[in-house]
Amino acid sequence: MNPTLDLLLSRRSALTRDITAPGPDPDQLETILTIGARVPDHGKLTPWRFVVVEGEAMQQLGEVLQQAYDKAAPEPEPRRREAEGRRFADVPVVIFVVSRDVPHIKIPRWEQILSAGAVCQNMLIAAKALGYAAQWTSDWLSYDRNVLEALGLGEDEQVAGVISIGTTAEALEERPRPALADIVTYWSGARA
Ligand SMILES: Cc1cc2nc3c(=O)[nH]c(=O)nc-3n(C[C@H](O)[C@H](O)[C@H](O)COP(=O)(O)O)c2cc1C
């Protein structure tokens, strides 16, 4: 079959906790970022930007998550705190896809958010095409003001997706997908 269709028909997410090295090299990462930026964008507003975390910065991200967890949890649990510190510890590259609010007279925020979602999906596809596993997550950290500030996000910015990229030891198993019969209707005109 067509290789693009093969890729799209077989794409699966890994679990972030299973993603380890190797990850994309600098050229491959640039390709992933470039493909991420090549999405439909009504009005060409570029209502998104990317924050990349890799290498030694991953350790600092773990510290940020621990500190934010301590502040957010009424009674922080040591094991959970440890897990937050290690959440991305083995992931080679994490890309925070940031949705930016670009005030516009004609183009609503909703469409700008949709465009940021398309960025996340494009990155997943690019990662798979390069032979890597990836997952799009959010979780509490995407909504925690302390984490967002540490990553340099402004008040008008949100995390659309946390894209973790690397390699998994095990092949990814398929999961059930919705039956088209349950989600597709063919509209045949308004009824009287
Ligand atoms: C906006 C968004 C946020 C998500 N956040 C999480 C998350 O925090 N944790 C998680 O396990 N999966 C999350 N997912 C789901 C995974 O990305 C993925 O869809 C799921 O593991 C199923 O795998 P699949 O891509 O093969 O269907 C999220 C998906 C989307 C679209």
Does 127 map to a domain? yes
Considering only CA atoms, which residue is closest to atom 13 of ligand 1? 137
158 lines ligand 1 (CB under 6 A): no
Give the chain's domain count.
1
The reply to whether ligand 1 has any atom less than 6 angstroms from the CB of 17 is: no
Give the SS3 label for residue 161: strand
Instruction: Please tell me if the CB atom of residue 118 comes closer than 6 angstroms to any atom of ligand 1.
Output: no
Q: Kindly give the interhelix angle for 109-129 and 26-36, rounded to the nearest 10 degrees.
A: 150
Across the beta sheet with 157-166, what order do the strands follow?
48-54, 93-100, 157-166, 133-137
At 190 the pLDDT is 86
Q: Is the CB of 25 under 6 A from ligand 1?
A: no
Q: Distances in Å between the alpha carbon of 183 and those of 13, 104, 124, 186, 191?
A: 22, 33, 23, 10, 20
User: If we measure between CA atoms, which residue out of 36, 159, 44, 157 comes closest to residue 104?
Assistant: 44
Predicted confidence (pLDDT) at residue 192 exceeds the cutoff of 80 = no
CB distance 139 to ligand 1 below 6 Å: yes
Q: Give distance in angstroms: CA of 136 to centre of ligand 1.
A: 5
Residue 191 lies in a domain: no
Percent residues over pLDDT 90 in the chain? 97
Locus of tokens 């998550």? 65
Report yes or no on 190 lying in a domain: no
In a domain, 188, yes or no: no
CATH number, domain with residue 153: 3.40.109.10
Ligand 1 mutation target, pool 137, 147, 172, most atoms within 8 A of CB: 137
Asked whether residue 155 is domain-assigned, the answer is: yes
Mean pLDDT of the chain: 97
Residue 40 lies in a domain: yes
Question: Using one digit for the tens of pLDDT, what is the confidence trace for 37-70?
Answer: 999 999 999 999 999 999 999 999 999 999 999 9
Ligand 1 centroid to Cα of residue 190, in Å, is 36
Give the pLDDT confidence score for residue 120 in this predicted structure.
99
Range of the domain at 50: 3-183
What was the pLDDT predicted at 176? 96
Residues with Cβ within 8 Å of residue 29, at least 6 apart in sequence: 23, 52, 54, 93
- Model pLDDT, residue 1: 81
- 192 domain residue, yes or no: no
Amino acid at 109: R
In a domain, 30, yes or no: yes
pLDDT score, position 191: 77
Q: Ligand 1 mean position to 163 CA, how many Å?
A: 10
Cβ-contact 138, 120 below 8 angstroms: no
